[in-house]
Amino acid sequence: MTTPRVYGNAGGSLEGGTFAANKHVARFGAAGEKKTAALLAELAATGPTVLHDLKIPNQKFTANIDHAIVSGNKVVLVDTKAWAGNFYWTFAGATYRGLKRFATVDKQGKTTFPAEKKTLPMAKDAIAAYLGVPKENIRLALIIWPTGKKPLTTWLMRSPGGATVLNGPVLTVGRLRSLAGKKEANEFIVRKLAQLVIR
């Protein structure tokens, strides 16, 4: 077993209130990111390097990348969400929670559709350009944790950019390893991504 290599603080931006709609959302979001981080720490002990809370390079919007896994020359960008337990499903690009389209209200009072945001695909393009690697070397994953005791169902949900949707409570390190790989990370990629970690 290798020494785990983990950079950054999972949920750090949410604890500071930077990216969340409100304190309630920030608290659940930070808790979800810490649950993901615990699984990623186990993965890091087997070879890959994990980074938390990264800036998206060369972008003017305020989104961040929750986690990145580096295995060999491959990178998996991971977004963690904490949503109410329900059946999530996608049809014609619109995602529903139960029978209603999944919508929330942002800080400005505007209706948004959190499951349909294109932050991960934009981050993929930006990170590929920043690292100077083909986009094929970067995969996307969305990990969702329930905010209460009601379970989540996500097998009919699709995420923009083709991100793999993973149900947090049933996610295993083995599943993460099959997604990311188990090689030790390319040092050049780790050094470049470490410069993006929000401190």
CATH number, domain of 56, equals: 3.40.1350
Whole-angstrom distance, CA of residue 182 vs CA of residue 69: 10
Look up the pTM and report it: 0.91
Residue 133 lies in a domain: yes
Count of domains for the chain? 1
Residue 106 lies in a domain: no
Residue 102 lies in a domain: no
Whole-angstrom distance, CA of residue 76 vs CA of residue 91: 25
Residue 103 lies in a domain: no
Q: pLDDT 10s digit of each residue in the chain, 199 long?
A: 455 699 999 877 756 555 555 566 677 778 999 999 999 999 999 999 999 999 999 877 778 999 999 999 999 999 999 999 999 999 999 999 999 999 998 878 899 999 999 999 999 999 999 999 999 999 999 999 999 999 999 999 999 999 999 999 999 999 999 999 999 999 999 999 999 999 8
**Whole-number CA gyration radius for the chain:** 16
Whole-angstrom distance, CA of residue 126 vs CA of residue 60: 12
Helix ranges (H only) for the chain are: 12-15, 23-44, 119-131, 173-180, 187-194
Q: Which domain holds residue 75?
A: 5-86+118-194
